Amino acid sequence: MSKVEPCKAEACAIQNCLQTNGYNESKCTKLIDKLYLCCKNYYESNGAEQTTCCPKINLLQLKLKQRELGQIDAELINTGRR
C-alpha cells in the first residue's frame, strides 16, 4: 500500500500555475497560501515529520511570518534574456 503524500495536490497546483504564468509567483499567491495552510495543518497533526511537498517546519514558520508582514511574493527579475 503506497503512502499518500500530504499536500501533494496543493504543491502540484502551484507547479502548474507557475508553468502557466511564466514562473511569475505573484500570479500563484492564493495557491501558495493554500499549500502553506495545508502544511501548517499537517505539522500540527503530525509534529515535525517531514513530507516531500511541504517546506521544513522552521522554513514554513518563517514563510508564514513573512506573509503576515506583507512580504508575500518573490519579485520577478527581468534579465532581458529571451
Q: Are 1 and 25 in contact (CB under 8 A)?
A: no
Distance CA 58, CA 76 (A): 25
- For residue range 30-73, what is the model confidence (pLDDT) as tens digits? 999 999 999 999 999 999 888 999 999 999 999 999 888 886 66
C-alpha cell at 51: 513530507
Residue predicted with more confidence, 79 or 56: 56
pTM recorded for the entire structure = 0.80
Residue type, 37: L
